[in-house]
A and B are shown apart, each in its own frame.
Chain A
Amino acid sequence: MSTPVGRSAVESWHVLRTPLLITGVIVLGVIAVMIATAARTSGPFSPDSAEPNGARALAALLEDHGVQVTGTEDLDDAVAGGQDRTLLIAPTGSLSRYDWSRIANAGWSHLVLIRPSDRALEELAPGIEDASDTLSIDSREPDCELPAAVKAGTVTVGGSSYSAPPSAQTCYGDGINHTVVRVETGDRIVDVIGSARTFTNAQLAENGNASLALNLIGTHTEVVWYLPQYESSAYEEDGGEEQPVVPPSVRYIAWALAFAVFVVALWRGRRLGPVVPEPLPVIVHAAETTEGRARLYRRSRARDRAAAALRESTLGKLHKLHGIPRRAEPTAVVTTVAARTGRDPAMLYELLYGYPPLDDAGLMSLSYELDLLIQEAEHP
């Protein structure tokens, strides 16, 4: 009779439920802990990063002074806009012109641009231009009327510098270009700061850096700290060269195709029962040892042994053919064979009992001569 192999579905469930439950609890716990402790943002100038190039110290300082800081990497948060709120744009990533213009039109009361790209400057702070002149990092005097700068006094700044229209307030420069620029257009204030390192964890404590940051950024009770990424939102009727190369629906088709491939793989990959083991017997080629000895002869150039074997074999055949006694003297053998074949006895002696050949060619010719001798002896 037959016995089913393996466990039934019910048995499998009974056996597996406890391990599954334990695994599930562990996985859920790990996920929960990760969510609870995970920083929303990371990388340089992140408000959650405690690295030297992070800006957690600044975020904490702002929160201590009653400013609510919300770190985000999501473009949707940056285009949400809002009255009486500040948007800080960190010097990371890259956005398209369209996205920058969406941020510009979102209606932020206060924009703080840390070392912005040319594209961002054009859209968010028209009139200010990157002077493509990098100032060395140094302690600098404010040299302007901006209240925040005046309060902060000497500050460690350096980096990109900007040229600004006369209406703008410009601070911390070398007289021509400036690293901190404020323009006010209507009800919007835009601060452009060329020196990103001034506000990082590493340098915030130096000179009046912290004071400058607080007074510049902490103008409103709410700061959205945006770290741009490299993604771009869907294009609208922008047209022209910015049309995406791959239509978005292809992505969905690819996913559907992947699922179909997975199903087909399941179909083709499932075997009808396991592979059956075959106990195999040991099989050795019977002539293996003889072939191995031949290779050994060749590798060690054992011409003497090979020649001896060939000669002995030939002698054995001659003994049989001519009825020579097994223990006959070499001279007797040579005489008999010479008489039968008509060969020169001295040559024959050399062939049958001579020195081993000196080289491979000698061995070849010896083997040939011995064969010839046997043929002559067989058909005289």
Chain B
Amino acid sequence: MVVTGRAGVLAGLGVLFVALVMPSWSGIGLVVAVVLLVCLLDLLLAGSPRRLQLSREGDNAVRLGEQAVVTMLVANPGRRVRGLLRDAWPPSAGVQDPPHKLDLPTGERRRLVTRLIPTRRGDRQAYRVTIRSIGPLGFAGRQGSHRVPWTVRALPPFNSRKHLPSRLARLRELDGRTALLVRGQGTEFDSLRDYVPGDDVRSIDWRATARRSSVVLRTWRPERDRQVAIVIDSGRMSAGRVGDAPRLDHAMDAALLLAALATRAGDRVSLLACDSAVRADVRRPAPEDVLPSFVNALANVDAELVQTDFRVVVSQVLERLRQRSLVVLLTGLEPAVIEESMLPVIGPLLRRHVVVLASVADPRLAEMESAKADLIEVYGAASAARSRLDRERVTAILSRAGVTVVDENPDHIAPALADTYLALKKAGRL
């Protein structure tokens, strides 16, 4: 049951009536009775919101920051329904439209469009559809809600895809597919071809030349069909907010760029998001399916407030990878955690695979270290310096153990990781 502004105006006129015509209890009674009667009549004449039939269609997934459109079909088998319809979603679903105006005569259907721009990653579920049906007089009405389930998945935005073209160009140079005077770099034998002036004489295949009348050159290319395992730490170290997003989101961005690049380079990429348990797991998808399956798997991963169990991480990775592979660990460079819980268990991984540890650095620490205007800031600078020294120390320890460490600001972590991958590929370490 709802009343409208008209009922308020009627009651306001009642005040004038009491003041000017009947300043007595009976005057008040008359006003109250008239207002109640009109509202009751309107309430009885209003169409039932409960009898409406609602259904949805539209987008199921949208990249974060873009717009999803969900359409609702409202059918009215009962009396005419006029009023408002609110399609309620959680605030982070980012509903763009105000409540819809509804005028639905008997037996008709309407299509209402709700546009969503989600503000956070993950599944957003429609909450309720509330319909307010106002009676023909416009004084009062009925209100009821429906549950019309629908889920829109907000996928990771993959902002770093702007870096992909330049890295692909570098990859082509590496491949030797670009028209260059130098030979293709890499360690894997590709093919033999005739020597043209300008080629590196060191690449001449003398045995093949001996069999033929012309000089034959051996060409190389980088290794293909290698395994790349991307492991995203979804534990408490990824919960920290750097800039305007948690470390986890920056890590996902970097992981997606690496996955796209490695897929183009012909490697097989798999994904694991893990803290004390596995949160997302994509094993060797088909090349064209890598990005869709990754974003889908990562959409609902949130940082858990638990310490990541690196024994679980190591055993999961070892179980997945048979041949020598590149393991990219996206985690935080937290000295205490690395020393106490990661280094003791990471040995088996280092013996069999190439390990890269990528961490999102916080630019705030650099700011703190350079600001020394007053005593408070000097203590802050000292504390930030201590943090940096600790990180450098643990980075040195990791490097000695054979781990390549990438520690970059949020803006640079994705391209830096891609460059590290290209460098490893170029060096033939995969």
Taken residue by residue from 75 to 115, chain B's Cβ proximity to chain A (1 for < 8 Å, 0 otherwise) reads as: 00000000010101111100000010000000000000000
0/1 per residue, A271-285, Cβ < 8 Å to B? 011101111011111
Q: Which residues 225-281 of A sit at the B interface, judged by CB distance below 8 A?
A: 248-249, 252-253, 255-257, 259-260, 262-264, 266-267, 270, 272-274, 276-279, 281
Judge if B206 is at the interface, Cβ distance under 8 Å: no
Within 8 Å CB of A264, what residues of B? 5, 8, 11-12
Q: A298-B379, A312-B385 are in contact. Are A253 and B303 (CB under 8 A)?
A: no
The verdict on A214 contacting chain B, using a C-beta distance below 8 Å, is no
Give a binary string over A209-226; 1 marks a CB under 8 Å from any B CB, 0 the rest.
000000000000000000
Let me know if B4 and A2 touch, CB within 8 A: no
Contact of B239 (CB < 8 Å), options: A248, A260, A262, A284: A284
Between-chain CB contacts (< 8 Å), 16 pairs: A4-B50, A6-B144, A256-B18, A256-B27, A259-B31, A263-B10, A267-B8, A273-B129, A279-B90, A281-B302, A286-B240, A290-B384, A290-B387, A305-B382, A316-B392, A363-B375
Given contacts A6-B145, A272-B143, contact A281 B31 (CB under 8 A): no
Interface residues of B (CB under 8 A from A): 2-5, 7-8, 10-12, 14-15, 17-19, 23-25, 27-28, 31-32, 35, 50, 52-55, 84, 86, 88-92, 99, 120, 127-130, 132, 143-148, 239-242, 246-247, 302-303, 305, 362, 364-365, 368-369, 372, 374-376, 378-389, 392
Chain A residues with Cβ below 8 Å from B147 are 2-5
- Known contacts A252-B27, A263-B7, A272-B86; A313/B14 CB under 8 A: no
Min distance, Cβ A103 to any Cβ of chain B, angstroms: 27
Chain A stretch 332-375: residues in CB contact (< 8 A) with chain B: 360, 363-364, 367-368, 371
* Closest chain A residue to B35, Cβ basis: A263
Give the docked Cα–Cα distance between A256 and B20 (Å). 12
B303–A282 CB distance below 8 A: yes
Closest to B378 in A: A367
Asked whether A60 is an interface residue with its Cβ less than 8 Å from the other chain, the reply is no
A residues in contact with B388, CB < 8 Å: 313
The answer to whether B4 and A267 have CB atoms under 8 Å apart is: yes
Known contacts A274-B128, A281-B302, A309-B389; is-contact A2 B55 (Cβ 8 Å): yes
Minimal Cβ-Cβ distance residue in A for B8: A264
Residue interface bits A38-74, CB-to-B below 8 A is 1, else 0: 0000000000000000000000000000000000000
Closest to B360 in A: A286
Chain A residues near B31 (CB-CB < 8 A): 256, 259
* Inter-subunit contact B146/A4 (CB<8 Å): yes
Bound state CA distance, A284 and B8, in angstroms? 48
Contact A272:B4 (CB < 8 A) given known A6-B145, A284-B241, A298-B376 = no
Interface bracket on A: 35 or more
Q: Are B91 and A1 in contact (CB under 8 A)?
A: no
| Closest residue of A by beta carbon distance from B86 | A272
Are A287 and B389 in contact, with the CB atoms below 8 A?
no
Contacting residues, chain B, for A291 (C-beta < 8 A)? 368, 380, 383
A5 close to B128 (CB less than 8 A): yes
Which residues of chain A are near B362, meaning CB under 8 Å? 286-287
B346 to chain A minimum Cβ distance, whole angstroms, is 23
A198 CB to nearest chain B CB (Å):
43
Residues of A within 8 A of B35 (CB): 259, 263
Output the least CB separation between B207 and chain A (Å): 47
- The closest CB in chain A to the CB of B120 belongs to A281
> At the interface, yes or no: A306 with Cβ under 8 Å from chain B?
yes
Cβ of B392: which chain A residues have Cβ within 8 Å of it?
A: 316
8 more CB-based (< 8 A) A-B contacts, given A276-B91, A307-B382:
A252-B27, A255-B28, A256-B14, A256-B28, A274-B128, A286-B240, A291-B383, A309-B386
> Which one of B55, B144, B381 contacts A5 once the chains associate, using CB atoms below 8 Å?
B144
Partner of A277, one of B23, B86, B90, B385: B90
**Given contacts A6-B144, A281-B246, A368-B372, A272 and B99 within 8 Å (CB-CB):** yes
Q: Does A288 contact B (CB under 8 A)?
A: yes
Neighbour of A260 across the interface among B12, B372, B376, B385, CB < 8 A: B12
Most buried by B among A273, A288, A297: A273
Contact: A309 with B50, CB < 8 Å? Answer: no
Closest to A314 in B: B385
Instruction: Confirm or deny: A18 has a beta carbon within 8 angstroms of a beta carbon on chain B.
Output: no
B146 touches A5 (CB 8 A): yes
User: Do residues A367 and B8 form an inter-chain contact, with CB atoms below 8 A?
Assistant: no
